[in-house]
Structure 1
């Protein structure tokens, strides 16, 4: 298939004569997930149900749900797009996202499940001053979640625009608004139970869909990966450089540093992501939390191996020109590949596979944004409202109602920011969320769990320092201004040269936590509190 014919395909959004079939299949998938949400919402009785799904999920179920939470639009759309445009360098995202789970498994999953109740702040507040620490942790959770939400909304805008054949920024903005409204419905109606079941269903569908595309791609090349890679390099227009390091990150010293910064953010960020951390509270025991991470690693690892076929298959069969014509950042590479291996533009098979894969991708987006919105709204209601503003004088019913109201507000903020961010690659925006999480949340969690001398001042310096430094560096980076693909392409205040702040902000978060603790006096009962937390985190004694 020629690049010019595929460009026409991309612009058309996938064969107008099959548009009714595409929209019908797509609508069925969305209706089913909404039905699951409504059903689960009826099972939600109290705060434990709303925040933690009643702690009723098995390790395997939670492993699937974690996979569903993690294999987001950035994974399915953004990574496939990055590989299809940048080859070897794009595959860094797959490796980084997968390796990150070892940090979560070895350092965070079990101690966090034993030590907290609903949120990250529960762990910190156990041995530190409750009100200032909960305020800082709640603020950080909301900021990280909004960054991550941006990536999902970007993917949704690109995906639905492709499906409906919509062109222009106006159409994409309305699509983002509609996605945001559905997202709020998922959280306010279903809570954690609804979100978890949607994530389980979506994870199964995503793995099956990816397996199908991988099978069809490899079949086209007689199961010869070398032939696939050779065709991908040829169609990319970059030749052998497409299969070697450096196409995106090896041009000069700055891009090499950006590569290191991105790698650090990807590997360390997962263990600080709020919507992943709250998943550890949905299982009954710490042992189940650890097993669920083992299941997640296996499922996620299988998926990321298949992104090789998605990305290089899109480069070989669709072509980089057609991919960028549909979406400059490559976010529609996987759906376009599905249509091509299904029979091509105008074929019934192509239309069906495009609809199915797009519906799965959209369910992916809805499930992830629901998880993110739930994490941030739960943090606001449980940490900021119940324990800081109301000082514990609140009922569970009031707390859950506050969480639902917060979901509406946070969803509105995410919609507003996403309208301007649609030019960015979804995987790149998620990497920014990872950097913020690793800068603000991870140092505080690790210090609180494993360092006896850690103080409230250290926690505040670490969270606010990591948060402010990472967000400030992002604002003054090439992601926001100074180039055609930036958030504000017409402006130029990109004084920080790296596209990801992790290389600077993550060490700074750890350093500030260490310095703040040494420059403040420990609390009188600090050793006793740490000993109690240590026993609880290692044995599960007293865990909720």
Structure 2
């Protein structure tokens, strides 16, 4: 690296007062927007699906805002900065996963459903047991995903304010949880969607600026960025080759890859976004926008990750509050000083806030609409009562997420999200695929698939190195009951989810309603009847 570059990036210090000012300004602006749009929330469809009033372009940006979580911006950038090529594999997995979701389930789910994933899974099966199982798996996936976002929030704002102790970071996590509750209670899906749209613009724009800046410092030559990253890294040329993180752990990598590629198609909060557009045509349009935005962002993340390794240095990143998740904000500090760092960190915080709001809303809709409305009240609850129960759910979930977020401080959030993907791929995806494509699939198969996939994923995670047995485990090296050797359960739990679904279906003698099955097939493929159904 040339001397002028070194001098430019080594003389800048963080400015907590400026950072918190930008942060507060952003929160104030977004809260104002949420309050304004919330005045038009008049029904359950408004609260859960934004009144189905968003265009394909708007929803494409909102999907990007929902999908590009803290794991994408902070976790993937940090993973590339520390582990090079192996870190970039997260990007590939996240992007390919989106294509799988598009091709297999997205439009079919939108045509069949109303508010939640359970609407689709229970369409031609027994309502109560299937909705109960679907709501349970939805809540589990949302909880794991929320943990990752909370971990990112704690590290990010701690870096902004220069907080490096556990108590201070815990307070930060609590503040994020409270803001999440406020956003969802006030804004519903309309408010959440607009926050996601704004955040997508800001995030992709900031990533583009930082990418161009990094390339500009290196003569717009990406090879030069890689050379400087190699020179600054203790691992040297290993940064550019496979194996730095997963060398000798091929099964771990395959398990991670399966979870990432298949998990998105089972993420309830992403699938729920397709219910916010009025027609199947707009759903397809939103997908096109989302693919371009998401694909571009992950290319920017590659440059930002290696740029952080070259300009900031791995030791500085790992030693900062938030550890590996601090790479992107520290890169912004090196490039543009405290102002750019404050702006980028505010955008990263917007990323977290938008995603946790979407997750909380999905969990609330699932509990209120599926468990309370359909199981407890047997379909007799009024929409107003469902919305009120949903808001109570948001408060409870927020408290649980705060407690869990405090417990996972310091974990790489891309890794934590990969666990959520594994749970989604194991518990939800098999049932979704079977429901949409297998006529002989039945209620027993659905219930066994969801509970079996969920339990197997959770048990394997509990007895894996993620929880105990190493320095990076949640319980530390002092506690060791890790008997499952892989960090991600996908390679075992995903096939088990499919196996349970098949086994339950072939062993059940109950005949499902053939007319409903035929109606679901026609509706999912053509969209005929879907627009009328969602109004009732």
| Band the TM-score falls in, shorter-chain normalisation | over 0.9
Contact 1:110 1:287 in 2 (8 A): no
Residue 383 (structure 1) aligns with = 370
Specify the alignment match of 2:521 in structure 1: 534
What residue ranges of structure 1 are gaps of 5+ in the alignment? 343-349
Asked whether the equivalents of residues 37 and 194 of structure 1 are also in contact (C-alpha less than 8 Å), the reply is yes
Q: Aligned-pair distance for 1:534?
A: 0.3
Equivalence for 1:418: 405
Q: Kindly indicate whether residue 338 of structure 2 is the aligned counterpart of residue 351 of structure 1.
A: yes
> What is aligned with 2:105?
108
1:235–1:524: structure 2 CA closer, same or farther, 3 Å change rule? closer
For the residues of structure 1 that align with 2:23 and 2:425, how far apart are their CA atoms?
A: 36
Counterpart contact for 2:163–2:321, Cα < 8 Å: no
TM-score normalized with structure 2 length:
0.96
Q: In structure 1, the residue corresponding to 2:339 is in which secondary structure?
A: helix
8 Å CA contact retained: 1:141, 1:274: yes
Question: Could you tell me whether the CA contact under 8 Å between 2:162 and 2:321 is conserved in 1?
Answer: no
Query: Could you tell me which residue of structure 1 aligns to residue 389 of structure 2?
Result: 402
Q: Counterpart of 1:279?
A: 273
Residues 1:137 and 2:134 aligned together: yes
What SS does the corresponding residue of 1:393 show, helix, strand or coil? coil
Q: Please name the residue that 1:374 is paired with.
A: 361
Q: Which residue of 2 aligns with 1:347?
A: none
Contact 1:480 1:487 in 2 (8 A): yes
- Is 2:310 the counterpart of 1:310? no
Q: Which residue of 1 aligns with 2:292?
A: 298
**Superposition deviation, residue 227 in structure 1:** 1.2
In structure 1, how many angstroms separate the alpha carbons of the residues matched to 2:71 and 2:480?
A: 26
Distance 2:473 2:37 in 1: 40
Displacement after TM superposition at 1:327 (Å):
4.3
Instruction: Indicate the residue corresponding to 1:91 in structure 2.
Output: 88
C-alpha distance in structure 2 between counterparts of 1:236 and 1:75, whole Å: 22
* Structure-1 separation of matches of 2:13 and 2:101: 44
- Work out the CA distance in 1 between the residues paired with 2:18 and 2:457: 45
Q: Does the aligned pair in 1 maintain the 2:468–2:481 contact within 8 Å?
A: yes
In 2: Cα distance, 1:166 partner to 1:27 partner: 17
1:22 Cα shift? 2.1
- 1:44 is aligned to 41
Asked if 1:267 is matched to 2:261, the reply is yes
Give distance in 2, aligned partners of 1:89 and 1:42.
47
Contact between 2:159 and 2:322, CA under 8 Å: does it hold in 1?
no
How far the C-alpha of 1:524 sits from its partner, in A, is: 5.1
Q: State the SS of the aligned residue for 1:419.
A: helix
Q: Which runs of 5+ in 2 are unaligned?
A: none
Distance 1:540 1:122 in 2: 15
Q: For each residue in 1:386-416, what CA deviation from the matched residue of structure 2 results, as whole angstroms up to 9, or x when unmatched?
A: 0001111211111101000000101111111
Q: How far 1:309 moved relative to its partner?
A: 1.1
Distance 1:193 1:339 in 2: 34
Cα offset for 1:185? 0.6
Deviation at 1:423, TM superposition (A): 2.0
Report the alpha carbon displacement of residue 531 of structure 1 after superposing the two structures with TM: 1.0
CA-to-partner distance for each residue in 1:213-237, whole Å, 9 max, x for gaps? 1111001111111111011112121
Aligned to 2:68: 71
Deviating more after overlay: 34-43 vs 87-96: 34-43
Closer/same/farther in 2, CA of residues 418 and 19 from structure 1, 3 Å limit: closer
More displaced, 76-85 or 472-481? 472-481
* Deviation of the 1:19 alpha carbon: 3.0
TM-score by length of 1: 0.95
**Alpha-carbon distance in 2 for matches of 1:106, 1:533:** 18
Match status 1:427 vs 2:414: yes
- Calculate the aligned-residue CA RMSD, in Å: 1.6
